[in-house]
Amino acid sequence: MIALFKSMESKKIPLRQRPIDSIMRWGIDHPGIVSKLPHVSKEEWSLRVDGEVENPVKLNWTAFMNLPQTEVISNFHCVETWSVLDQKWRGVLFKDLVSHVKPKSTSTYVWFESYDTYTTSLPIETLMDEDVILSHMLNDEDLPQPLGGPLRLIVPKLYAYKSPMWLNLIRFIPEDKLGYWETGIYSNTADPWKDDRYRTR
C-alpha cells in the first residue's frame, strides 16, 4: 500500500517567483551542468548509501523498490524564478531510508552525488521533513530522464538545486561541505521564502 502525504506548504508563491503550468518546461529548457544529460536504465542504475551509518548499502532498482513507497504532493520552486504547484511525487521518504541505514551519532549532514557529477549537501534535520522524498515517479508516470529519472531527491521547502537529479551516491558526513552551485553563485541554505538565492561570501 502506498501512503499519500500532502505538504502543508502555503499555496502562496515565494517572493519573486512566478507560477508556470508544467514542470516539464524546465526539462526542455534546462540542460543541466553537462552538455549531454546522463541516461541510466533501471537495470544499470544503483544507489550507494554510505559514510557515517551502521548499515551501508548499495541498492539496485529492485532493492530500492522494495523499500516503503509513499506519495507526496508538494510545490516545486526553481531558483530561476518559477514555481509549479501540487506536483505528485512517488518514491521513498528520506526518513524511511534513514531508518534503513541507521546513521551514527556523528552524522549531521548528507552529501549527494549524481551521474552527471552534480553535488550538493543538506543537514539531516532538513531531510527528515515529511515531504522530502527520493522520487522515481512524477504525476503518476515514471520520472522523465530530463527531470532526473530514474531517481532524484525532492526537497520542496528549498530551491530545486537542493533536489539533485540522477542520484547515485548518498553519504552521511560529520561536517557540511559545499556542492556544485554552493561553491559558486548560489546560497547553501536556499530558502525561497526568504528569497535566499545567492551566496553572500
Residue 49's domain is classified under what CATH number? 3.90.420.10
Q: What domain range includes position 49? A: 3-7+41-176
Question: What percentage of the chain's residues is helix, strand, coil (to nearest 5)?
Answer: 15, 35, 50
Domain membership flag for residue 96: yes
Domain membership flag for residue 201: no
Model pLDDT, residue 183: 94
pLDDT digits (tens, 9 = 90+) for 130-145: 999 999 999 999 999 9
Domain membership flag for residue 18: no
**For range 158-184, the mean pLDDT:** 96
**For range 67-91, the mean pLDDT:** 95
Model pLDDT, residue 3: 64
Residue 169 has pLDDT above 70, yes or no: yes
Per the structure, the count of domains in the chain is 1
Domain membership flag for residue 15: no
| Cell reading at 89 | 511525487
Mean predicted lDDT score pLDDT of the chain? 91
Model pLDDT, residue 51: 98
Residue type, 91: G
pLDDT digits (tens, 9 = 90+) for 13-60: 898 999 998 876 655 445 557 667 889 999 999 999 999 999 999 999
Model pLDDT, residue 78: 93
- As a whole number of angstroms, the distance between CA 194 and CA 135 comes to 26
